[in-house]
Structure 1
Amino acid sequence: MAVLEIVEIPDARLRAVSKPVAQVDDAVRRLIADMTDTMYDAHGIGLAAIQVGVEQRVVVIDLQAEEGEDGKPIRNPQAYVNPEILDVSDELSTYSEGCLSIPEQYAEVVRPARCRVRWLDENGTAHEEELDGLLATCMQHEIDHLNGVLFIDHISRLKRDMVVKKLNKMRKMG
């Protein structure tokens, strides 16, 4: 498969609302495979299609939480086509989030601790599940991307300006 170019801020495509996938076919499965390769190449744990310039409601996630006998993370990528949040918990959690479209920048983001999500897998099979922990945070982050929202939209204007300023400084330094 292919490693795709990741779209970074301030690219306007990151503010687009992605379109639903009409049918999970070979083209969508190729996109999922390319997105998965791209996510691993960039050392990420989640990626939305819009982050590689594709306006479709497709997300890949692999938390890589477990290590194999060789000490390397066990890869278990999951694809989520047309994911939607059905319900969220009142309980909140805070996580230091980063984003492949805002490289090497992190900020504390408060989100619901749990969420119920419905999606199609790479075979077009429907799923519905309650997610919690890091998976719930990651799913909400990626679905935000599909809706044109970035993690920095969840922090104060002052903190957002600091993140953007640090990113621009890093880019200038090369």
Structure 2
Amino acid sequence: MRLPGRYDGVARPIVTYGTDPVLHRPCAEVTDFDESLRRLLLDMFASMYAANGVGLAANQIGVDARVFVLDCPDADSHDVVGYVVNPVLTVLEPVGDEPAEELTEEGCLSVPGPYADLPRGFRARVDGVDITGRPLAIEATGMAARCLQHEVDHLDGIVYVDRLPEEERDRLLAQAAGPAGDLPA
């Protein structure tokens, strides 16, 4: 679901791993569908694009709200651009000869720099609502499905490095640029 109108948001700083508790706890459901939600989404798109990201959850800019944005290609190289408020994730069964999951390199704006191989479902769907509260769904494959899973993880208080073995997580955090590399996990 694309936002109507121009993307005239303001890029906000990205919260890095270990610097703000909002990144490490489940986010609150959105209950107010007003201009502040629209403004938040515009700022999230601006922040994601300014950081050269493909997805961004609200808590990555310090906001405790269950919403994410994405602009990410799927397995067929079609761009999946949109947002979901109050998303619920379902990892779907493969279709035809698709793999059930993929082991692919993953990174995160909140852990700037390093990447790690992480298994994710190849096909996923999120159901949620738009900025007016109307139901919407996004189904995706490949990298876009990975992005859906990654962003919903954020909204559940999980950063991708939390899914790695402790030793690998600690190594990646030590490599991270900025504050994430300076803090213990």
Give the TM bin, normalised by the shorter chain: 0.7 to 0.9
**Matching of residue 3 in structure 1 with residue 7 in structure 2:** no
Mark the CA change 1:156 to 1:60 in structure 2 (over 3 Å): closer, same or farther.
same
The 8 Å contact of residues 44 and 58 in structure 2, kept in 1 or not, is answered as yes
Amino acid at match of 2:83: A
**Matching of residue 146 in structure 1 with residue 155 in structure 2:** yes
Amino acid at match of 2:16: E
Give 3-state SS (helix, strand or coil) of 1:10's partner: coil
Q: TM-score, normalised by structure 1?
A: 0.84
> What count of residue pairs does the alignment treat as equivalent?
164
Report the Cα offset of residue 119 of structure 1: 1.4
Out of 42, 47, 60, the residue aligned to residue 33 of structure 1 is: 42
Report the Cα distance in structure 1 between the residues aligned to 2:136 and 2:22, rounded to whole angstroms.
28
Kindly, what percent of the aligned residue pairs are identical? Answer: 34
Task: Give the alignment's Cα RMSD to 1 decimal.
Answer: 2.4
Residue of structure 1 equivalent to 2:53: 44
The 8 Å contact of residues 23 and 124 in structure 1, kept in 2 or not, is answered as no
Q: TM-score, normalised by structure 2?
A: 0.80
Cα offsets for 1:65-122 (capped at 9, x unmatched): 8xxxxxxxx9874111111113433711122111110001110110111123201123
Report the Cα distance in structure 2 between the residues aligned to 1:26 and 1:150, rounded to whole angstroms.
29
Report the Cα offset of residue 129 of structure 1: 4.2
Greater Cα shift, 103-112 or 161-170 = 161-170
Report the Cα offset of residue 38 of structure 1: 0.4
Residue of structure 1 equivalent to 2:33: 24
Within 5 A, what are the aligned runs for 1:1-174?
Answer: 1-11=9-19, 12-63=21-72, 77-89=81-93, 91-167=100-176
Give 3-state SS (helix, strand or coil) of 1:62's partner: strand
Gaps of 5+ in 1: 66-73
Give 3-state SS (helix, strand or coil) of 2:65's partner: coil
Report the Cα offset of residue 136 of structure 1: 0.8
The 8 Å contact of residues 91 and 124 in structure 2, kept in 1 or not, is answered as yes
Report the Cα distance in structure 1 between the residues aligned to 2:79 and 2:12, rounded to whole angstroms.
19
Report the Cα distance in structure 2 between the residues aligned to 1:127 and 1:62, rounded to whole angstroms.
17
Mark the CA change 1:150 to 1:63 in structure 2 (over 3 Å): closer, same or farther.
same
